[in-house]
Amino acid sequence: MAEVQVQDLRIAYGGITAVDGVSLDFPEGQLFGLLGPSGSGKTTLLRAIAGFVRPQSGEIRIGGKSVAAIPVEKREVGMMFQNYALFPNMSVAENIGFGLRVRKIGAGEVRRRVADALDLVQLGKFGERRPRELSGGQRQRVALARAIVTRPRVLLLDEPLSALDKSLRVDMQIELRRIQREVGITTIFVTHDQEEALTLSDQIGILAEGRLVQAGPPRDVYNAPINRFAATFLGEANFLSGVAEAGGVRLSDGALAPWPNTGRRATLAIRPEAATLSGEKPGASDTRTVLPGAMTEVVFSGPMATAFLQVEGSVFKVLLKSAELNGLPLTGEVWVSWRNADALAFDD
């Protein structure tokens, strides 16, 4: 295991900046998720740590040591690619042992390590099969076993679950987390899936246009996003604009939502699960904000439902249990409210 440190990293392709001054620490033994839209620089950052991309400036350290002069094959980094990159003409065992044979490891040691890796990913009986004879989830496990069989100090995963269907992806999230904890290896994985990042990660970093937006434990980033982009990209949020004044943010209908005064325009963000609905206007409260809304649609998804309203001229989502819809009009006027402590505020 080893801590990975990236300091003021800059990478450009033909004048287009892919990574722009990113500094991040990836703690030893933890699973760190890099999250961001396409083109945000997350895969480029991963490939730079592996050694496939050379930065124009900045520094990468693994275990406290700069790797600028260390070639790919000597960085002690394992990487699992998005398409798994398995050799179709080799058996599962041969695929897993390929990196060991390249390193001139003895045949007996190769067999032992491959057997251990197969057991770790619960494919002990599949060593003689070809990749085409495996399911998508099984091929994913083979690629993971190949990445860790060389006993790297750092494991890099590029969209490891993106090729799987939703139900299998959920199962593999559990498996990936189990394997990472069992091996205890410092792991950095790239994903565009918010739920995947929240489920798997000890820490996350959100990237946009090559820059680091915010990093920290998933719960902290979700509950206290630094700006509107972070609030939107990690989960859903409803946004209301107003002018900050003494005591709060004055919304367009005159309602005052508590927030420290800045005297400037501000945006409030309310997570869908933090809001509640009622058919009648709730009583006045110093701890809650209440606004009128017009119910436009309700989408059921088994025990949960999402209500869509018009509030302050914008679409407002409320996530609630399906049973909570009893007694609420499915169209027409309703009242939406939230605890002031649950509202997020950004200075525009």
Of 230, 252, 270, the last residue of a domain is 230
Of 230, 261, 279, the last residue of a domain is 230
For the chain, the maximum distance between any two Cα atoms, rounded to a whole number of angstroms, is 77
Of 207, 230, 253, the last residue of a domain is 230
Region for 163 from its dihedrals, namely left if φ exceeds 0, alpha if ψ lies in -120 to 50, beta otherwise: alpha
Spatial separation of the C-alpha atoms in residues 297 and 299, rounded to whole Å: 7
Within this chain, do residues 9 and 58 fall inside the same structural domain, yes or no? yes
Read off the DSSP letter of residue 15: T
Within this chain, do residues 246 and 214 fall inside the same structural domain, yes or no? no
Spatial separation of the C-alpha atoms in residues 217 and 202, rounded to whole Å: 6
Spatial separation of the C-alpha atoms in residues 33 and 201, rounded to whole Å: 6
Within this chain, do residues 213 and 245 fall inside the same structural domain, yes or no? no
pLDDT at 45: 96
Within this chain, do residues 215 and 317 fall inside the same structural domain, yes or no? no
Within this chain, do residues 77 and 161 fall inside the same structural domain, yes or no? yes
**Buried-exposed string 238-270: b where 16+ CB fall within 10 A, e elsewhere:** bbbebebeeebbbbeeebebbbeeeeeebbbbb
Q: CA Rg, the chain, in Å?
A: 24
Strands laid side by side in the 288-301 sheet: 275-278, 332-339, 288-301, 304-311, 314-321
Read off the DSSP letter of residue 53: S
Within this chain, do residues 257 and 211 fall inside the same structural domain, yes or no? no
Within this chain, do residues 256 and 225 fall inside the same structural domain, yes or no? no
Domain residues for 218? Answer: 4-230
What tokens were used for 190? Answer: 């790239």
The total number of structural domains that make up the chain: 2
Within this chain, do residues 67 and 214 fall inside the same structural domain, yes or no? yes
Within this chain, do residues 89 and 187 fall inside the same structural domain, yes or no? yes
Q: What global pTM score does this model have?
A: 0.84
Within this chain, do residues 189 and 255 fall inside the same structural domain, yes or no? no
Backbone φ, ψ for residue 115 (5° rounding) = -60, -45
**pLDDT tens per residue, the chain (348 residues)?**
689 999 999 999 888 999 999 999 999 999 999 999 989 999 999 999 999 999 999 999 999 999 999 999 889 999 888 777 889 999 999 999 998 898 888 999 999 999 999 988 888 899 999 999 998 888 888 988 998 898 899 999 988 777 667 777 777 788 888 888 888 899 999 988 888 888 889 999 999 999 999 999 999 999 889 888 999 888 889 998 877 777 677 776 666 776 655 556 678 899 999 999 998 888 877 788 899 999 999 999 889 999 999 998 889 999 999 888 888 888 889 999 999 888 887 875
Question: Which CATH number is 143's domain given?
Answer: 3.40.50.300
Within this chain, do residues 37 and 141 fall inside the same structural domain, yes or no? yes
Strands laid side by side in the 65-66 sheet: 16-26, 4-13, 57-62, 65-66
pLDDT at 296: 93
Question: Which CATH number is 293's domain given?
Answer: 2.40.50.100
Give the type of residue at 264: R
Task: Report how far apart, in Å, the C-alpha atoms of 231 and of each of 38, 90, 218, 307 are.
Answer: 17, 45, 12, 20
pLDDT at 168: 72
Within this chain, do residues 36 and 143 fall inside the same structural domain, yes or no? yes
